[in-house]
Chain A
Amino acid sequence: MKQVFWLSLLVLSTLLLSPLDMRAAGPPPVGGTLPDFTLPLPGSSTERDYLGLSSRGNFTVPDIKAKVVLIEVLSMYCPFCQKEAPIVNRLYEAIEGNPGHKGKIKLIGIGVGNSAYELDVFRKRYNVPFPLFPDADFTLHKQLGETRTPYFIAVRINEDRTHKVVYSKAGSLGEVTPFIENLVKLSGLK
């Protein structure tokens, strides 16, 4: 009985999901991987150092020197992202202030539909301490399944640079301390 259930589920979801997959019909699911995209190397050396990137040109998320990367999908124009900004800043401070987490968990933001100028207004308004990347023409947004904003995706990066999505959720991250504890648990970070 149970076997039949899982089999039919597998067959059906494969059938139904395969055509959707091509147009990134949903956010990256937990257990899956990120869509294929690159980000430009930040202009600021502080940000490059934070991400542990020295090479020129573009990079991918698994290139970031970290065990866990938390990606916030946001927009300068989104009221909840504005409200969330101080919380995400506190999360950053909490990680950087904990020797067990510093260097292991890193944050980046993607400003969907935001020009570099617009995202910079957001950065300055909220003193965002982590790197933000504009996605002015919604290219990344489409690849990420047109998530709502804010949306958080955490990926675990393995030694061999493979990665796995361990968290994928719309809305506020909530309280900072339990969020970090949960992230540590989900990613198997010790």
Chain B
Amino acid sequence: MKRAFYAGLFLAMAVLVMAPSPVMAQTKSEAYKDNIYNTGTLKPRDSELKGAVGQRAPDFTLPAVAGGKVTLTQYRGKKNVVLSFVPAAWTPVCSDQWPGYNIAKDIFDAHDSILLGITVDNIPTLFAWTNQMGQLWFPVLSDFYPHGKVARTYGVLRSDGTTERALFVIDKTGVIRYIDVHDINKRPPLENLVRELEKLK
């Protein structure tokens, strides 16, 4: 009797525990299993933007996860550049954003654009995290040390040391053409970015 009661209780509790908590709307990919840290809902924006559309994009050089270094001006006269800052590895939303871009290479190609993914995480962390996304076609850069230097230059470093979820479109002459410092809790719709790339012609 008692045992049966506890068995029933246990089962009911198990059902209860397995129910998801009502956090912000987001998808959880099976790819990351239980390794995504739940940040909860964050202050949508927590920094002061420094660059502006029409201004020259500040140059930078950062180490890439795949090895070597990438300098912004190496694309001058060759490619439009999309900078995608995401807050941090192993957090919700970000863990989805780049895999989406990863199947949209033809769209970036069609608009003569390269994508540079940037976070303030160190290379080993970025390596482990991006490995879960499959083979990425674009460079992932580490703005780890000095911490968030590039993010600070662009005015997207948050007070807790992570960055905004921000997109910068820089044309072949090195001029900023579009800035979207997005609500950190939400993913920017791909079509917004594509519309801006279409304007570059």
Q: In the complex the two chains form, is B19's CB within 8 Å of A79's CB? A: no
A1 nearest CB neighbor, chain B only: B4
**Chain B 5-42: CB-based contact to A (< 8 A → 1; otherwise 0):** 10111011101101110100111111100000000000
Task: Tell me which residues across on chain A come within 8 A of B96, comparing CB atoms.
Answer: 75, 77-78, 113
Q: Closest residue to A3 on the B side, CB-wise?
A: B4
A5-B4, A8-B4, A16-B12 known; A79+B31 contact, CB < 8 A: yes
CA distance in complex: A84, B99 (Å): 14
Determine whether the beta carbon of A118 is less than 8 Å from that of B99: no
Which residue of A113, A145, A150 is within 8 Å of B25 (Cβ)?
A113
Chain A residue contacts of B100, Cβ below 8 A: 76-77, 118, 121
Q: Check B52 for interface membership: any CB of A closer than 8 A.
A: no
Given contacts A113-B25, A146-B20, A149-B28, contact A78 B7 (CB under 8 A): no
Binds B, one of A20-28, A159-167, A176-184: A20-28
Are the C-beta atoms of B191 and A115 separated by less than 8 Å? yes
How many whole Å from A11's CB to the nearest CB in chain B?
8
On whether the beta carbons of A80 and B29 are closer than 8 Å, the reply is: yes
Evaluate whether A25 and B29 lie within 8 angstroms (CB atoms) in the complex, with A118-B190, A121-B103, A121-B107 already known: no
Q: Does B187 reach chain A (CB closer than 8 Å)?
A: yes
Cβ of B104 within 8 Å of any chain A Cβ, yes or no, is yes
A5, B2: Cα distance in complex, Å: 9
**Chain B 74-90, CB within 8 Å of chain A: the 1/0 string?**
00000000000000000
Whether A12 and B8, one on each chain, are in contact in the complex, defined by CB atoms closer than 8 angstroms, is: yes
Q: Contact check: which of B1, B27, B107 meets A149 at CB < 8 Å? A: B27
Contact B107 A77 (CB under 8 A): no
A148 touches B29 (CB 8 A): yes
Q: Kindly count the residue-residue contacts between A and B in the assembled complex, taking CB atoms under 8 Å apart.
A: 127
State A141–B104 Cα separation when bound (angstroms): 24
Q: Provide the bound-state CA to CA distance between A157 and B103, in Å.
A: 35
Residues of B within 8 A of A171 (CB): 30
Q: How many residues of B contact A (CB 8 A)?
A: 38
Within the complex, the shortest CB–CB distance from B182 to chain A, in Å, comes to: 14
What are the residues of chain B within 8 A of A77 when measuring CB–CB? Answer: 27, 29, 96-97, 99-100, 187
Chain A residues numbered 43-60 whose CB sits less than 8 Å from any CB in chain B: none
Q: Note all chain A residues with C-beta closer than 8 A to B13.
A: 16
- In the complex the two chains form, what is the Cα distance from A2 to B29 in whole Å? 40
Residue of A nearest to B107 (CB): A121
Interchain CB contact under 8 A, A148 and B30: yes
Compute how far the CA of A142 lies from the CA of B9 in the bound complex, rounded to whole angstroms: 27
Given A117-B191, A121-B107, A125-B103, CB of A9 within 8 Å of CB of B7: yes
Residues of B within 8 A of A136 (CB): 189
Indicate if B134 sits at the interface (CB-CB under 8 A).
yes
Q: Does A82 contact B (CB under 8 A)?
A: yes
Asked whether any CB of chain A lies closer than 8 Å to the CB of B133, the reply is yes
Q: Is B132 an interface residue (CB 8 A)?
A: yes
Q: A4-B1, A12-B12 are known contacts; what are 13 more A-B pairs with Cβ within 8 Å?
A: A4-B4, A5-B8, A8-B7, A13-B12, A16-B12, A20-B16, A75-B96, A80-B31, A82-B99, A113-B96, A125-B103, A141-B25, A141-B27
Q: Would you give 12 A-B contacts (Cβ < 8 Å), ordered by A?
A: A9-B12, A13-B8, A13-B15, A75-B96, A77-B99, A79-B31, A80-B30, A82-B99, A82-B134, A115-B191, A118-B100, A171-B30
Interface pairs A-B: 3 shortest CB-CB: A5-B4, A8-B8, A77-B96
- A residues with a Cβ closer than 8 A to B are 1-2, 4-5, 8-9, 11-13, 15-17, 20, 23, 25-26, 75-83, 112-113, 115, 117-118, 121-122, 125, 136-138, 141-142, 145-146, 148-150, 170-172
